[in-house]
Amino acid sequence: MAIKLVAFDWNGTLFADTQTIVNADNIILKKLRVKPINVKIFRRCFHVPIIQYWKNIGLSDAFLEKNLLIMQNYFSVFYEPLADKTRSRAGAKEILKFLRQNKIGSIIYSNHTTADIDRQLRRLRIEQYIAKVIARDMGDHSLMHSRGKQQKLEDYIRKHKFKPHEVISVGDTEEEVEIGKHLGYHTVAITGGYNTTARLKKHHPDFLIHNMLELKKIIKKLNKI
């Protein structure tokens, strides 16, 4: 049993933007005269579809019906300039180099937009390590009401003829653990991102790590290298 592909989430996983998104969301909330949140609240409440996240922080259906489109349009305006000053997660580049050295593929599957991820990969100088970015098109707001990245990942795995036991899903939220388990992949949850450690543990990932470099040990164990 050998691992041939690692499918990474982007936001909060390879990209250390947890505080960045909280800052962007707080700009939006301030404009709409809503009390700001902190990282602790964000990690407890973040959810996909995103509309559930807004409800989790206390926004009413009536408020969302009136303001949801405004919030959608505001997000990129405020988030992307902040993202341009955000770093990759500690150890991300080193683990991507390790995977390439061991002939293990790396892809990103994300709820973010392909163009914006590609831009950050170039800025951070790690684009050469990523075989494919599976994400949303610009202007696609389906994330607000539904999940979509599971099917895109499954289609990619099937197209490239990887077997489930050859794939690891790495992410910082419940969603990536759920997807990995549903599709029969190995699951690695990493703390310090968009969800609390307690939320991640509740879904029983195969491995729970606190630093990206811990993934090396997991790969070595599974591939006996």
Helix (H) or strand (E) holding 96: helix 92-101
Overall residue count recorded for the chain in this entry: 225
Evaluate if residue 144 carries a pLDDT over 70: no
Q: Give the mean pLDDT of the chain.
A: 94
pLDDT tier for residue 143 given thresholds of 50, 70 and 90: low
Instruction: Judge contact between 12 and 172, C-beta under 8 A.
Output: yes
Evaluate if residue 146 carries a pLDDT over 80: no
Helix (H) or strand (E) holding 135: strand 132-136
Give domain limits for the chain. Answer: 5-16+88-223, 18-83
> How far are the Cα atoms of 22, 32, 51, 55, 123 from residue 70, in angstroms, in the given order?
17, 9, 13, 16, 29
Q: Report the b/e string of 195-211 with b at 16+ CB within 10 A.
A: bbeebbeebebbbbbee
pLDDT tier for residue 151 given thresholds of 50, 70 and 90: very high
Whether domain 5-16+88-223 has CATH 3.40.50.1000: the reply is: yes
pLDDT (mean) for 55-59: 97
